[in-house]
Amino acid sequence: QVQLQESGPGLVKPSDTLSLTCTVSGYSISSGYFWGWIRQPPGKGLEWIGSIYHFGSTYYNPSLKSRVTISLDTSKNQFSLKLSSVTAADTAVYYCARGPAQLERDRFVYYYMDVWGKGTTVTVSS
Amino acid sequence: SYELTQPPSVSVSPGQTATITCSGDALPKQYAYWYQQKPGQAPVLVIYKDSERPSGIPERFSGSSSGTTVTLTISGVQAEDEADYYCQSADSSGTYVVFGGGTKLTVL
């Protein structure tokens, strides 16, 4: 049974870098799938941040691309999110998720999230 | 940027049928997916590739697609189906993922 668990600081100062880690159990992240980050500001909807394929290629939300880095650590079976220059608008519940996907010429034929972590709340405040 | 449009809310009585729509220009070219989210919980996938149902999801959940609109149908709605529902797809070039704004389903 695949499980994902987010971890990281719950409070980040404005202009700092938000760093989160997703630890995967029950499946080796190097074996397949996309691994992604999604966030949800308080009282609002879901926003895709970005995803990384099991061999390392990354896809990012164009609106966040300049501030986002997603990486894999296969030795620890983890993947990570770094979001730089945060503001109060980045306050949200952050989820990690596994994603079945098929690519054709580096473009999604299909991609969705079938297993989610429980989420972690990150507040940006001084 | 590409957007998916959902109605903010849908209300239905127990036992009746709920339909939630999601509209987007790229939907004829890209699959749609549906997630259910209850308060304080992570989203759960209920439909993938327009109309496929994951194992463990009740048969009363179904999906369909027609042109630029996809629809989530919940037949014989139960009180436990009260939740927020989000559609998800990709832009026409298949380079980024988009979620709809979400629909709050209220069971009267």
C-alpha Rg value of chain B to the nearest Å: 13
Cβ contacts of B94 on chain A, cutoff 8 Å: 104, 107-109
Which residue in A has a C-alpha nearest to residue B46's C-alpha?
A114
Residue B68 backbone phi and psi in degrees, to 5: -90, 15
Kindly list the residues from chain B whose CB atom is less than 8 angstroms away from the CB atom of residue A61: 96-97
Give A 6-65 residues with CB within 8 A of chain B.
Answer: 36, 38, 45-48, 51, 59-63
Candidate from B45, B98, B101 with C-beta closest to A113: B45
pLDDT-based confidence at B47, cuts 50/70/90?
Answer: very high
Give pairs for A58-64: CB < 8 Å, separation 24+.
A59/A34, A59/A108, A59/B95, A59/B96, A59/B97, A60/B96, A61/B96, A61/B97, A62/B1, A62/B96, A63/B1
The pLDDT of A101-119, averaged and rounded, is 94
Please report, rounded to a whole number, the percentage of residues in chain B having pLDDT higher than 90.
99
